[in-house]
């Protein structure tokens, strides 16, 4: 235990025995919270950005780059607000995005490959983990949710494409198939059929937005960063609201144990 840890325990007025119990409580909460975070982030992400992450032939230069950071920063900001406001722990974004990735791999391996026979090359996930760590680091350094929203939000979106391109680039090699040039990702998507996902249903780059090396990526990234700033702030506010106890319908003993005083039962 470091001197700083002891100082925190002293500030909390915890005896060595109580601090050991407190540590056990920490382990229990961390394990339970991990499952909770996996569930929440999975459901949220699947509902709002599912297809772009499910399939390799949805990872386009426009919408995938735009939507994935905006959706994932929601839970990242909300959990960051909870952990920061209550415990001054700047790891909410890393935890939520990291656990989302772990949960995603479990589902891809068990459900998509194991039950539906989709090859992993078709369903490799992307991740915003690099951006999430950056978001937490910025919060830790600035201790300000406004500055984190502005600089961290931009960084979060900016890191998404390059941090994923390092391993997804090979899927965009050109291939000739049936006399047409397609990307390898297109070919993989075509080869391994998904009955309920016709080609036209893909919401991918169909517009005429082209700039910066004939690519829409950085324009989408810039807009994604702009949107991430405000999305972050909105969900920070939501996380703050949700972790603020306004009504505690518990008995005197619980209130005493939680250091809430011996006031009236159910008081504000």
Partner 1 sequence: MTSSIKRVILCGLGALTILSAIAPQPAMAHGERATEPYIRTRTIQWYDVKWSTEKISVNDTVAVTGKFHLMDDWPDAVHKPDKVFLSNTSPGAVLTRVESYINDMPAEQSMKNLVVGRDYTFKMVMKGRIPGRWHFHPMLNINGAGPIVGPGSWVQVDGRAEDYRHSVTTIGGTQIADTQNYGVARVLMWQIGYILIAVAWLLWWLRRPLIIPRWLATQKGLDDLLVTRTDDKVAAGFLVLILLVVIIGYINVKAEFPRVVPLQAGSLYTPPLPEAPKLVMVKFKKAEYDVPGRSMRMSIEVTNNASRPVRLGEFLTASLRFVNNTLPAAVAAVDPAYPKELLPFSGIVVDRDSPLAPGETRVIKIDATDAAWELERLVGFLTNVDSRIGALLFFYDDKGARYITSVAGPILPVFRKTI
Q: Total number of residues binding partner 1 (CB under 8 A)?
A: 102
Residue 25 or residue 212: which is nearer to partner 1 going by CB?
25
Interface with partner 1, residue 59, by CB under 8 A: yes
Among the listed residues 87, 212, 230, 254, the single contact to partner 1 using CB under 8 A: 87
Interface with partner 1, residue 15, by CB under 8 A: no
Helix (H) or strand (E) holding 181: strand 180-183
Among the listed residues 46, 163, 227, 234, the single contact to partner 1 using CB under 8 A: 163
Q: Which residues sit opposite 211 in a β-bridge?
A: 215
- Which has the closest alpha carbon to 118: 196, 178, 55? 55
For residues 42 and 104, the answer to whether their CB atoms sit within 8 Å is: yes
153: Cβ contacts below 8 Å, ≥ 6 apart:
73, 135, 225, 228, 229, 230, 231, 232
Nearest-approach distance from CB 90 to partner 1, in angstroms: 7
Q: Which residues sit opposite 176 in a β-bridge?
A: 181
Interface with partner 1, residue 32, by CB under 8 A: no
Interface with partner 1, residue 256, by CB under 8 A: no
Interface with partner 1, residue 223, by CB under 8 A: no
Among the listed residues 36, 116, 209, 267, the single contact to partner 1 using CB under 8 A: 116
Interface with partner 1, residue 117, by CB under 8 A: yes
Q: Which residues sit opposite 183 in a β-bridge?
A: 174
């Amino acid at each position: 235990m470091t001197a700083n840890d002891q100082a925190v325990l002293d500030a909390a007025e915890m005896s060595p025995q109580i601090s050991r119990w407190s540590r056990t409580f920490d382990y229990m909460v961390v394990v339970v919270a991990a499952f909770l975070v996996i569930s929440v982030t999975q459901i949220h992400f699947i509902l709002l950005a599912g297809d772009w992450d499910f399939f390799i032939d949805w990872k386009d230069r426009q919408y995938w780059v735009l939507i994935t950071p905006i959706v994932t920063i929601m839970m990242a900001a909300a959990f960051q607000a909870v952990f920061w406001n209550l415990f001054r722990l700047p790891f909410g974004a890393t935890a939520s995005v990291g656990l989302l990735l772990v949960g995603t791999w479990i589902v891809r391996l068990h459900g998509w490959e194991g039950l539906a026979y989709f090859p992993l090359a078709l369903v490799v996930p992307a991740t915003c983990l690099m951006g999430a760590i950056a978001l937490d680091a910025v919060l830790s350094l600035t201790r300000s949710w406004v500055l984190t929203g502005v600089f961290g939000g931009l960084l979060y979106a900016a890191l998404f494409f390059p941090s994923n391109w390092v391993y997804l680039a090979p899927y965009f090699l050109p291939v000739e198939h049936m006399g047409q040039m397609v990307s390898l990702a297109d070919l993989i998507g075509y080869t391994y059929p998904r009955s309920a996902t016709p080609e036209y249903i893909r919401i991918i780059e169909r517009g005429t937005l082209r700039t910066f090396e004939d690519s829409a990526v950085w324009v989408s990234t810039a807009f994604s960063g702009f949107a991430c700033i405000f999305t972050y702030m909105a969900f920070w506010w939501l996380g703050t609201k949700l972790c603020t106890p306004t009504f505690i319908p518990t008995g005197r003993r619980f209130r005493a144990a939680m250091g809430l005083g011996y006031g009236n039962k159910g008081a504000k």
